[in-house]
Amino acid sequence: MTQSNNFGFGEDETMLRDSARKFFADNCGPEKIHSQVADNPDIHRAVESKWDKGLWKQIAELGWTAVCVPEAAGGIGMPVVAAVALAEEAGKAAFPSPLIATLNATFAVRECNSDAATKLLGEIATGSSATLAITNEKGSWQATDTGVTAKDGKLSGTAYFVQDALKADVLVVSADSGNGVALYRVDPAADGVTIHADAIIDLTRDQAHISFDGAAAELLDAKGAEALTKAMPAILCITSADMIGSGEWLLQTTTEYAQTRVQFDRPLGFFQAVKHPLVNVMLAIDAAKSLTYNAACAIEEEPENALKLARMAKSAASDMAVFSSSRAVQFHGGIGFTWECFVHLFFKRQMHNHILYGDGKYQRALLADMLIGKAA
Amino acid sequence: MSDASKDTPEQAEFRAYCQKWLAENHPGQPPVHIPQGALELSDPDALVWLQKWQKSAYDAGLVGADYSKDCGGGGRTGCQAIANQEMQKAKTPFLPNIIGLGMAAPTVYFHGQEGVKQDLLPRLLSGEDIWCQGFSEPGAGSDLANQQTFARKEGDSWVINGHKVWTSLAHFASWMILLCRTSKDDKYNGLSYFVVPISSMIGKGVTVRPLIKMTGETGFNEVIFEDLVVEDKYRLDEVGAGWKVAMTTLAHERGAGPLTTPSAGGQVNEKEKGPSIGSAAALIELAKVSYRNGKTAADDGAIRDQIMQLMIRQEGFRQNQRRISTKALNDHPMRLPLQFKLVATEMNQDIAQLAYEIEGAASSLYVNDDNAAAGGQWQLAYMNSFGVTIAAGANEVQRNILGERVLNMPKSK
């Protein structure tokens, strides 16, 4: 099967992306985000989730949460590349919100077959936020691994590394039902649910481990591991797109600094020791971007190859995330090493995203199993 | 990654025509050994066979499709890319007149004098005349504008003296595109651009001497001009406009010019089984039959990771080429086109280097050893890969260009 020349990125997707770009430019420049999430540098500060709920309401009104909800469930039913473009713009703004978590949860719930799943998708389409609680204590990214068990519609155990858990209206939880891993919907405010906020480095999101002690749960799909595996290419693409956006901000900001900061009587960018690595950052961003749009397009147009292509994209994007953030701090020099410089917001978001759902080496180990065969 | 559904009616009709013609006229396996690329050509028999192939593809309209008819082209629009895709798909031999097609033709087409381009381009496009490029000099490599070869005006003619090096295909060439100096007063505005005859003037002002590459192969040369007389009609554009004309050449060399370069290829020698040498997929086949530490290289975690890195880079390069035609996903129009030469040549170099490493002890064996892994082709590919990371503006210069033109950083010169 051949994919469309333009990755399926047509006029509607371009309009959505451009409106998102304008929204972020108008509403949340880095100054504003920094004053919002980085007001307290105290290393022992209490954990808080800081974000603008008013903006989230606007986002819901703009329909962004409905973009990848199927029309039959009350959504807009746009292709995955549309969500990728939104994630890229959100990454470029280092936007604190449950948007990325909700997009990821949307793709998992889309793969569930039940009235409960359809109902949840409808709620997401009208602005409910959701997040995936699918990771165990060891930080396994395997869909079949979970630290939660389900019995008679009640959950017990603990899910770890839950993204933007303090913001989400709905939890989508994987739990061992005794008959494989199933996916459940849980109300974070329900009895028996305790959200323990993690003290994390990234200031532009929150994270938690969540314990369930006989918490009421609604079954979304008994074959939850299968649904998560099917959703994984989209989740990898969304996470990659977030990094591509942040990478572009880091590149442009560092380049501007290199044009103006003068040392040895010349702007830094004159020196090839600065200029050439910044070009290398650009090359890394562009390869990751092309791979990500390719993988996202493949989810609809070449599904048999989607997981392979998405792992390629995540590998490239994760490595680029580390590279772009390290070079940005280095080339900003002394100021880049300070809390007041905005670079650390993006540095920390990149370092967080790069490990989510597996870093570059993890993706390549799984790719090697696919393309070479398991090692002896 | 071609997508026939996006073809214009003219392109769709032409694509169908190319497919039919190629099905009936593929030249089949060559009777002589054909090297990995045109720049490695040293056997005249191989050249003759490849020229015959280029002529037949030209006569059929698959080469030069977008050039105007008075210059020997097909007079079509956007059709060379279609022919290229179909020739690649049909796994044809490559086109031997690579410098003529990629650099000389668009330059002569856009800057040549009337009459001259109608005279020279048909035999260039057909491959009957092989062309070479006279840019590099002993003192003008990456600093291309530092040309010392001098053209002196005498009456209606020019008298040329100087020394060109790294001149690929000069030993077969009928013509050369020549960048040289016509004034010593200004580094850039003192340059002019000519086309000059080579083979017909050997011993009459032109000397071609082979340079031996680090591989032991020939294929490129030094060319010495001693009072070569060239008519003024062979000057391209104005006197002093050589740098501007050279930019047309370089833009096309980097795949960033208005005309698509005719290119074919993909043919695999019958003796080489499996994925072709040079591709990342071939690394897997190689790793499965190479040993290290008591198991195959394909079972070694570090090697597996590196092969995957290169397969990802190769897919990324492919997808960049696809994204370039999606306007909405390009915030800067030159950002991707100006990367191609740099990214492709470094990727190919790293692929060959990893193959060299995967072969282990056997990597010490060369093409003239019967036990050489893959016939020593990876060793050749690795060493030859430096030709292209250095040529056409060393990749360090490419990084300057990207940093200055796309990222707007100050010039490093």
Q: Which among A287, A315, A375 is the nearest to B320, CB-wise?
A: A287
Cα(B185)–Cα(B225) distance, rounded to whole angstroms? 22
A372 contacts in chain B (CB < 8 Å): 284, 287-288, 298, 304, 307
Least confident of B22-36, B119-133, B273-287: B273-287
Q: Is B343 on the interface with A (CB under 8 A)?
A: yes
Q: Is B240 on the interface with A (CB under 8 A)?
A: no
Give the helix/strand (H/E) hosting A161: strand A154-163
Per this entry, what is the length of chain B? 413
pLDDT band at B271; cut points 50, 70, 90: low
Any idea what DSSP says for residue B180?
A: E
Interface contact flag, B339 A368, Cβ < 8 Å:
no
- Closest-CA distance, A372 to chain B, in angstroms, reads 6
Q: Which among B320, B343, B407 is the nearest to A255, CB-wise?
A: B407
pLDDT single digits (tens) A230-268 = 999 999 999 999 999 999 999 999 999 999 999 999 999
Q: Is B202 on the interface with A (CB under 8 A)?
A: no
Q: Give percent above pLDDT 90 in chain A.
A: 98
Interface contact flag, A269 B407, Cβ < 8 Å:
yes
Residue A279 half-sphere exposure toward CB, CA atoms < 13 A? 29
- pLDDT, residue B278, reads 77
A285 contacts in chain B (CB < 8 Å): none
- Closest-CA distance, A15 to chain B, in angstroms, reads 10
Q: Is B221 exposed, middle or buried (0-12, 13-18, 19+ CB in 10 A)?
A: buried
* Sequence-ordered list of residues with C-beta below 8 angstroms from that of B70, at least 6 positions apart, any chain: B118
B317 contacts in chain A (CB < 8 Å): 287
Residue B275 scores a pLDDT above 80: no
Question: What is the full DSSP assignment across B312-365?
Answer: HHHHHHHHHHHHTT-GGG-SSTTTTGGGHHHHHHHHHHHHHHHHHHHTGGGGG-
Interface test with A, best of B6, B292, B308, B402 (most A CBs within 10 A): B308
Interface contact flag, B402 A282, Cβ < 8 Å:
yes
A1 contacts in chain B (CB < 8 Å): none
Q: What is the chain B residue with the closest CA to A272? A: B412
Residue B7 scores a pLDDT above 90: no
> Chain B, 354-393: which have a CB under 8 Å from a chain A CB?
none
Q: What is the mean pLDDT of residues B245-262?
A: 90
Q: Which among A17, A279, A291 is the nearest to B399, CB-wise?
A: A279
ipTM surpassing 0.90:
yes
Residue B3 scores a pLDDT above 70: no
Interface contact flag, B301 A259, Cβ < 8 Å:
no
Q: List the structure tokens of A143.
A: 């869909």
Nearest to A17 by CA among A75, A84, A107, A104: A84
A267 contacts in chain B (CB < 8 Å): 409-410
Q: Is B410 on the interface with A (CB under 8 A)?
A: yes
Least confident of A33-42, B98-107, B269-278: B269-278
Q: List the structure tokens of A209.
A: 């481990």
Cα(A142)–Cα(A134) distance, rounded to whole angstroms? 9
- pLDDT, residue B2, reads 46
- Closest-CA distance, A149 to chain B, in angstroms, reads 34
Q: What is the mean pLDDT of residues B16-37?
A: 93
pLDDT single digits (tens) A319-328 = 999 999 999 9
pLDDT single digits (tens) B304-318 = 999 999 999 999 999
Bridge-partner residues for A172, per DSSP? A132, A185
What phi and psi, each to the nearest 5 degrees, are found at residue A314? -65, -40
Residue B99 scores a pLDDT above 70: yes
What b/e readout covers A51-70, taking b as 16+ CB neighbours within 10 angstroms? bbeebbeebbebbbbbbbbb
Region at B194 (left for phi over 0; alpha for psi -120 to 50; beta for the rest): beta
Beta-strand pair B157-168/A266-267: unpaired
Q: List the structure tokens of A55.
A: 């903006």
Q: Which residue has the tokens 């032409």?
A: B14
pLDDT band at B146; cut points 50, 70, 90: very high
Cα(B168)–Cα(B103) distance, rounded to whole angstroms? 13
Any idea what DSSP says for residue B104?
A: I
Cα(A185)–Cα(A171) distance, rounded to whole angstroms? 6
Per this entry, what is the length of chain A? 376
B309 contacts in chain A (CB < 8 Å): 315, 364
Spacing of C-alpha A14 from chain mean position: 20
Interface test with A, best of B405, B409, B411 (most A CBs within 10 A): B409
Is the distance from CB of B72 to CB of B81 less than 8 angstroms? Answer: no
Interface contact flag, A259 B409, Cβ < 8 Å:
yes
Q: Is B48 on the interface with A (CB under 8 A)?
A: no
Q: Give percent above pLDDT 70 in chain B.
A: 96
Least confident of A73-77, A237-241, B260-264, B276-280: B276-280
Give the helix/strand (H/E) hosting B205: none
- Closest-CA distance, A291 to chain B, in angstroms, reads 5
- pLDDT, residue B1, reads 39
Amino acid identity of A274?
V
What phi and psi, each to the nearest 5 degrees, are found at residue B235? -80, 135
Q: Is B339 on the interface with A (CB under 8 A)?
A: yes
Q: Is B312 on the interface with A (CB under 8 A)?
A: yes
Q: Give percent above pLDDT 90 in chain B.
A: 84
- pLDDT, residue A130, reads 98
pLDDT single digits (tens) A108-137 = 999 999 999 999 999 999 999 999 999 999
Q: List the structure tokens of B294.
A: 């008591």
Q: Return the beta strands (E) in A248-370 as ranges.
A: 262-263, 266-267
- pLDDT, residue B219, reads 73
pLDDT single digits (tens) A268-309 = 999 999 999 999 999 999 999 999 999 999 999 999 999 999
Q: List the structure tokens of B17.
A: 């025509």
Q: What is the chain A residue with the closest CA to B330? A: A286
Bridge-partner residues for B162, per DSSP? B225
* Sequence-ordered list of residues with C-beta below 8 angstroms from that of B305, at least 6 positions apart, any chain: A361, A364, A365, A368
Cα(A116)–Cα(A138) distance, rounded to whole angstroms? 30
Residue A176 scores a pLDDT above 50: yes
Q: Is B77 on the interface with A (CB under 8 A)?
A: no
Q: Which among B313, B320, B403 is the nearest to A276, CB-wise?
A: B403
Least confident of A194-198, B97-101, B272-276, B403-407: B272-276
Q: Which among B299, B309, B410 is the nearest to A269, CB-wise?
A: B410
Is the distance from CB of B407 to CB of A282 less than 8 angstroms? Answer: yes
Nearest to B287 by CA among B308, B318, B267, B268: B308
Provide the number of CB pairs (under 8 Å) joining chain A to chain B.
153
pLDDT single digits (tens) B203-243 = 999 999 999 999 998 878 999 999 999 999 999 999 999 99
Average pLDDT, chain B: 93
pLDDT band at B5; cut points 50, 70, 90: low
